[in-house]
Amino acid sequence: MTDGSPPELPASSLDQLGWQHRAVRAPQLLSGQTVSRVAVEHRGAYELLDDTGDAIGALDGAMRRAARTPFDYPTVGDWVVRTLEARHDRRAAITSVLDRSSLLCRRAAGPHARPQLVAANADVLAVVTTPASAGDAAPAETAGPATTSGGVGHRIEWYLTAAFSGGARPVIVVNKADTVSGAEYQATVDALRRRLGAAAAEVPILATSALDGRGLDSLGALAEGGATVALSGPSGVGKSSLVNRLAGADVVPVAPLSPDGRGRHTTVRRQLVPVGGPDGGTFVDTPGLQDLIPWSGELGVGNQAGRSDAASGLAQAFPEIAERARHCRFADCTHTVEPDCAVTAAVAAGELAAQRLSTYLELVSDMAVDRFGERSSPR
């Protein structure tokens, strides 16, 4: 457990930070410049890691003046070019942000639709849950529209869509496996798989325990070769505990033991944590979220499969719906009231779970914004 004073991070080589793993080309550096990775974002300043150790950076004037949208600013996980020499305010000048290979982005809380960048250049999004919170997601066979349970189970499709949309691979991590029997754990996994329908085949599910250490090898392996794994999920599921176990030190604060351990919001900032070792690899710890509504606008990232955007993210998170939607009469079918809708027809024929469609429709409604940038009213 942490004593409240995190130790200094050791200097990492760029490769340990994932440099050789990045998808973008190396920039042309001028003399006096270096490449760094953003570890922590503060108001107007950034904690940077590179092979010189660490540094504090701030945007240089030209970059600040040119920045128009939240996407133009560096975020945790970004690769930036900075001056080696600090300015008079003892901060290095950040002169550019390198193209992102992925971007996890959510709609910030509040009535207006604003993007909040969660992590850049993450290869994997680990959606962390527990048997307790995933369990209440298990829909009964005859369940109607999804109910709000508060657990990540209910919102797991939201996380998967955000990951796919942003070009990251989602993995579900069921932590606190030590709190249930093997049979109960298996029931949790089975319920998750049923719930995820055709997407289950694309999303590995790992059992971990930050307490007894099980599954940590598999989780750590996701970052092998310099990959970046962002952890997200509700408060209290053990994201920070897992990061500390993987880093082998109390790098980020963890909630003191409590009977339920839920809803404490111990982590208040996003932080990139190198896990060291010859292979390197980094994890991004994030504050617990009540909700992760995927950003539905442009993200400006692409991956090997082509463009990553909200539409392709939804199609990957709901492949059986996307497949059937190609046969709807209208190209812009909402799969609600239209005639000749292949999706509602599949539900009527018992080929597609009604629960799957209602979850999809709820997510689409959550992601919808009208052209004034405000949330459109729910269907």
Ligand X SMILES: Nc1nc2c(ncn2[C@@H]2O[C@H](COP(=O)(O)OP(=O)(O)OP(=O)(O)O)[C@@H](O)[C@H]2O)c(=O)[nH]1
Which chain residues interact with Mg ion by CB under 5 A? 239-240, 266-267
Closest CB 37 distance from ligand X, rounded Å = 22
Are 18 and 226 in contact by the 8 Å Cβ rule? The answer is yes
Q: Which of 247, 209, 194 lies closest to 7 in space, CA to CA?
A: 247
Closest CB 369 distance from Zn ion, rounded Å = 21
Picked from ligand X, Mg ion, Zn ion, none, the partner binding residue 271 (CB below 5 to 8 A depending on kind) is none
Query: Nearer to ligand X by C-beta: 218 or 235?
Result: 235
Are 233 and 288 in contact by the 8 Å Cβ rule? The answer is yes
Query: Nearer to Zn ion by C-beta: 116 or 358?
Result: 358
Picked from Zn ion, ligand X, Mg ion, none, the partner binding residue 292 (CB below 5 to 8 A depending on kind) is none
Picked from ligand X, Zn ion, Mg ion, none, the partner binding residue 209 (CB below 5 to 8 A depending on kind) is ligand X
Beta strands of the chain (E only): which ranges? Answer: 33-42, 45-50, 53-59, 79-86, 92-97, 103-107, 115-120, 124-129, 169-174, 205-207, 228-232, 271-274, 282-285, 302-303, 306-307
Picked from Zn ion, ligand X, Mg ion, none, the partner binding residue 333 (CB below 5 to 8 A depending on kind) is Zn ion
Sign of the C-alpha dihedral computed for residues 308, 314, 316 and 322 taken in this order: negative
Query: Nearer to ligand X by C-beta: 246 or 343?
Result: 246
Beta strands of 276-369 (E only): which ranges? Answer: 282-285, 302-303, 306-307
Picked from Mg ion, Zn ion, ligand X, none, the partner binding residue 313 (CB below 5 to 8 A depending on kind) is none
Query: Nearer to Zn ion by C-beta: 245 or 335?
Result: 335
Query: Nearer to ligand X by C-beta: 76 or 333?
Result: 76
Q: How far apart are CA 337 and CA 344, in angstroms?
A: 9
Binding residues for ligand X (CB under 6 A): 175-176, 178-179, 209-211, 235-241, 254-255, 257-258, 261, 264-267, 287-288
